[in-house]
Amino acid sequence: MVRTWTLLLVVVALFPCHLKASSADEVKAADEAKTADEAEKAKPEAQQAAKNEGWRFGVSFRGRVEWWDWFHPGTPASGKQNEYAFFGGYFRLNAEHSGNRVDFSAEASVPILLGLPEDAAAPPPQGQLGLGAAYRAANGDRPAYIFVRQANVMFKRVAGKNANLRLGRFEFIEGQESLTQDPTLDWIKRERIAHRLIGNFAFSHVQRTADGAQFFLNSRGTNVTIVAARPTVGVFELNGNKEVPNVEYVYSGVTHTGASKKYDARLFYIYYHDDRGVIPTDNRPLSARRLDTTCLDISTLGGHYTRKLGNADLLAWGALQIGDWGKLSQRAWAYVAELGYQFPHAPGKPWVRFGTDRTSGDHDPNDGRHQTFFQILPTPRIYARFPFYNMMNLEDDFLELILRPHSRLAFRSDYRWLRLSQAADLWYSGGGAFQSSTFGFSGRPSAGSRDLGSLADFSVDFRATAKTTLTFYYGYASGGKIVHSTYPAGSSASLAYWEISRRL
């Protein structure tokens, strides 16, 4: 079965169709060649404006064969069902019209799922058996669907020359409101800043967008962005037409890039409201949580700073949370500190990075406070490349190596040591609200331990042509005491996938 799907991906890669990538489709480790972009920017503004006006149409495709060998609980019913492969992908059709004062954009998405595990029905949204189980639980036997992924109108120069307002359904990724055009800083922004708290869940075959309004202003290296929106259903559920009811957020951020493009800094504020009445996931007993389905009102204030120092780079990111977690008061924090160094003249141009990601956990379920950092609506796979965990109640220390022997080829390997911040709290996973009936985050008991385990992984990104990118990934998770307590028959797990993205 895997050989058949692999052959299918190769055929699609070589088939001379004309496809176009959607905006912010996914985040790649390879630096993109910027020669053509720089040439475009050098053209007179009036000439570029005339060229950009009018209709543009396109299609994009992404296909992936995923092989999962999830942790094994050791029950008679489990057998080898935790090991399986399936195919997932999507086609997208988009149309855009650029005018002098108004732009229109629309995009339809057709996600496809084939060969999902048939006996993976019971678990909550993230499943016990990997993401294949999450797709099966959300969709049953349905293999495909078509829905409106984006449909919006953008009014230009609404409050000055550089201010725009977008209304409708659109994609929003916090931390990526503006890029610096510096390859190092932009890689850090895409891979280590964006998606942490609000993202499009780019790894899933459905993803998510937002219905609402977005105002953004760019002036002299400074970007101001304000978004008020409601997330759409999607992520694992094929029918992405609907909104997630009674969930809203407001984002405001100010990002500044230095004139020398040696640093990038941002301050942001996020307000999140969830009044769906579902049972929240936290470390209180189930009986207490069933009696507390009142709304979540959480404010998050934070920022980031990243800088180049010759061949070295640094990143600092932090956030504080206050508000109401149902009947509890929310008091939580998170911070990130990372350093990197590049060797541009060595073979493969190695880039070594190391750092730590820390978020608070709850040490007492009975004290009237919820101290677990809440990750809101992230793309978890950016920060957990084998997504059996997320940023909540976590200490994540890592060492990373990136090699770029050619402009079209990039290798990346990470090693991560994972521990819970508080043993009295849970082992969390998930990426936030994606349907009306489930909370969106799941949690498993810690068994009184902080030892979650380690993750070693390796990936290759190859830009075969200007239209085609091929990716291979393999990750191996070695579970610690926490994982072993839940999965005594097998506390190690693996994920591998082969992927093709093709565009016009």
pLDDT (tens digit, 9 = 90+) per residue, 432-475? Answer: 999 998 999 999 999 999 999 999 999 999 999 999 999 999 99
> Average pLDDT, stretch 234-248?
94
Distance CA 396, CA 481 (A): 16
Task: Write out the DSSP string of 18-62.
Answer: ---PPTT----SSPPP-HHHHHHHTS-HHHHHHHH-EEEEEEEEE
Average pLDDT of the chain is: 88
Q: Please state the rounded mean pLDDT for residues 499-503.
A: 95
Position 158: which residue type?
A: V
Q: Please state the rounded mean pLDDT for residues 165-191.
A: 96
Where residue 120 falls among pLDDT bands split at 50, 70, 90? Answer: low
Question: What is the pLDDT confidence band of residue 72, given thresholds at 50, 70 and 90?
Answer: confident
Highest mean pLDDT out of 15-29, 152-166, 328-342: 328-342
Q: Is the pLDDT of residue 153 over 80?
A: yes
CA separation for the pair 60, 386 (Å, rounded): 25
Q: What is the pLDDT of residue 54?
A: 85
Residue 489: predicted pLDDT: 84
Confidence of residue 129 (pLDDT cuts 50, 70, 90): confident
Q: What confidence tier does 10 reach under pLDDT thresholds 50, 70, 90?
A: very low
Give percent above pLDDT 90 in the chain: 77
Q: What is the mean pLDDT of residues 373-389?
A: 96
> What is the pLDDT confidence band of residue 4, given thresholds at 50, 70 and 90?
very low
Q: 2-503 domain in CATH 2.40.160.100? A: yes
Q: Tokens 């508000």 correspond to what residue?
A: 323
Q: Please report the pLDDT score of residue 52 as a whole number.
A: 60
Res. 427: pLDDT tops 60: yes
Are 328 and 369 a contacting pair, CB within 8 Å? yes
Residue 223, pLDDT > 50, answer: yes
User: What is the mean pLDDT of the segment spanning 89-99?
Assistant: 95
Residues 357-368 have a mean pLDDT of 96
251 neighbors 272 (Cβ within 8 angstroms): no
User: CA 213 to CA 227: how far, in whole Å?
Assistant: 6
Look-up of token digits 């949370």: 321
Banded model confidence at residue 282, pLDDT cuts 50, 70, 90:
very high
Mean pLDDT, range 186-205, rounded to an integer: 96
Give the chain's radius of gyration (CA, Å): 22
**Does the pLDDT of residue 34 top 60, yes or no?**
no
Residue 361 has a pLDDT of 97
Given a cut of 50, whether residue 281 has pLDDT beyond it is yes
Mean pLDDT of 135-139: 89
Delimit the domains of the chain by residue range: 2-503
Query: What percent of the chain has a predicted confidence (pLDDT) above 70?
Result: 86
Q: What is the pTM of this model?
A: 0.87
Mean pLDDT of 39-53: 49
> Which one is predicted more confidently, 31 or 450?
450
For residue 23, pLDDT beyond 50: no
pLDDT in the model for residue 77: 52
Q: What is the DSSP letter of 465?
A: S
Average pLDDT over residues 290-300: 95
Residue 83 confidence (pLDDT): 86
Above 50 in pLDDT, residue 1?
no
